Amino acid sequence: MKIESDFLIIGSGVAGLMFALKVAEAGTVALVTKKRAAESNTNYAQGGIASVFDHLDSYEAHMEDTFNSGSGLCDPNVVEMVVKDGPARIRELIRLGVQFNTKSSPEHIALNEETLDLGREGGHSWNRIVHAQDMTGEAVECALLEQIQKNDRITVYENHLAIDLITCSTRVKRGLVTTTHEDHCCGAYVFDRSGRIVKTFCSKITLLATGGAGKVYLYTSNPDIATGDGIAMGYRAGTTVANLEFVQFHPTCLYHPDAKNFLISEAVRGEGGRLIDAQGKSFMEKYDPLKDLACRDVVARAIDTELKKSGKEFVLLDISHKGETFIKNRFPNLYRKALQFGFDMTKEPLPVVPAAHYMCGGVATDMEGRSDIRYLYVVGEAACTGLHGANRLASNSLLEALVYSHKASAAAIEDLKNYQFKCPEISPWDEMSTTDSDEQIMVSHNWDEIRRLMWNYVGIVRSDKRLERAKRRIEIILKEINEYYWDFKITADLIELRNLATVADLIIRCAMHRKESRGLHYNIGYPEKNDSLWKKDTILRRPFIG
């Protein structure tokens, strides 16, 4: 089955949805999402969107905070572009119906200040977090989906999981040698979960907005869909990927056997929450002058150190001193959710542990979201834009997604206007010589093993020996998966396992290459940052075969 459109979007988070709304003005849009359209990392984002609105704040201060967090690897041009475009993108969301929290006291009105209520999170020097209570991602996602549903030029394909990008070859002559290079993206092969068939989506412009890869780790704040699909597909197609050693571990996920993926927002510490040990003593002052408002990499490593010293399985996050009224008004969702697990955060501290949260690396793009394969754009967590460097500043993720979907949509519309490439006839998906699997245990076993080896060997604190062990094992797993993939009919679990293994391998390779500690990458054999040798991006590209 072939489906044709001007634009193909893979992923339904804020980046994909905003891009879809903008490019629909210029052509037809097919939006593919692996589960329900609302199931995305965006929907789980509690904290908010960082942007400069307070008259005492400044673009320069936001940029400086971003640079400090990124530990020397942020692209200054990208940081300036994203920070300065932020307020316009927030206003755009407001026009689309997002209900952000606002100030209500008369003195703010009399002073004619901006009416947005601005929170503060770790690493920020000023209050600049625009939020919708503690459910910002959900508020943005719902508003954008409502607009998507009204647009008859956008067709949403739920329960459709992309398998691989389709690239078309051009012949390139270098001297006396003519080579073939796959440099035009023409769409993707997509698995329809409902019909259990593979469809061919043909498009002039393709966007990867598939989110991150948190499920590569045993403990993560991410939903089950976060299996690194876009990064893996991009790499297999030949794109450059970068900086995948920089995996952000959120310091505070609720510790409870039934609290799967439940993140305790950084905004809790921003509003005065303190990390304490089992004896009720605060400990962050031992690790950073900013104490509980230090950047995430510092806080996550501090908690990891405290747990190793004490032998405990969690530390505690206490905001009960702020009072019941404040907590219920500022964190209504967190309060209700914690209560479901037997914790009353107005009266007691919450047990928390770090968990894999955000990929700072991804498919390398330019300042308009272009990859190095023509007509393939990548935005959101699947991309490496140069904004985050070695560590993402809190609440810069939704900001990046909004700004880059805006920039990428404008560039993609121009590409469509000037589109002259004639893509050859695309062959349908071929399942000949494959059979239904009678060995599903291979999928479930390798899924579990990948996540455990990544947590144990490629986690918050790393070493050369651990990384070498991980590399040896992932090479065996990749070989097993590849043999299985070509012998048996495709399934959703197999597609995700293949992507998970690919991303795990890329993370390990990037981590092995960087012989220093910087930002989110901490190697006990090289505990110091080395600007003279390693103040640069880690670049990987699949070797060309042709």
Report, as residue numbers or ranges, the catalytic residues.
296
Give the C-alpha separation, 250 to 25, whole Å.
Answer: 38
Q: Token pair for residue 484? A: 């299985």
Give the C-alpha separation, 320 to 268, whole Å.
Answer: 11
For residue 511, which of 452, 460, 447, 446 has the smallest C-alpha distance? 460
Give the C-alpha separation, 454 to 315, whole Å.
Answer: 22
CB 242 within 8 A of CB 513: no
For residue 381, which of 185, 226, 511 has the smallest C-alpha distance? 226
Q: Rg of the Cα trace of the chain?
A: 23
Q: Where are the alpha helices (DSSP H) in 38-75?
A: 59-70
Q: Which single residue is written with the structure tokens 């023509």?
A: 374
Region of residue 370 (left: phi > 0; alpha: psi -120 to 50; beta: else): beta
Q: Token pair for residue 450? A: 């990948």
CA distances from 397 to 110, 248, 388 (A): 33, 12, 9
Q: Token pair for residue 105? A: 């006291």
To 10 degrees, what angle do helices 76-95 and 59-70 make?
A: 120
Strand ranges inside 295-414, DSSP E: 315-318, 350-359, 362-364, 376-378, 383-384
CA distances from 334 to 259, 267, 327 (A): 12, 11, 9
CB 120 within 8 A of CB 128: yes
Give the type of residue at 145.
L
User: Strand, helix or coil at 275?
Assistant: strand
Residue 96 burial by Cβ neighbours in a 10 Å radius (0-12, 13-18, 19+): middle
| Helix H or strand E encompassing 318 | strand 315-318
User: Strand, helix or coil at 86?
Assistant: helix
CB 394 within 8 A of CB 123: yes
Give the C-alpha separation, 22 to 8, whole Å.
Answer: 13
For residue 69, which of 360, 279, 269 has the smallest C-alpha distance? 360
**Pairing between β-strand 197-208 and β-strand 274-276 as defined by DSSP bridges:** unpaired
For residue 445, which of 408, 484, 409 has the smallest C-alpha distance? 484
CB 367 within 8 A of CB 39: no
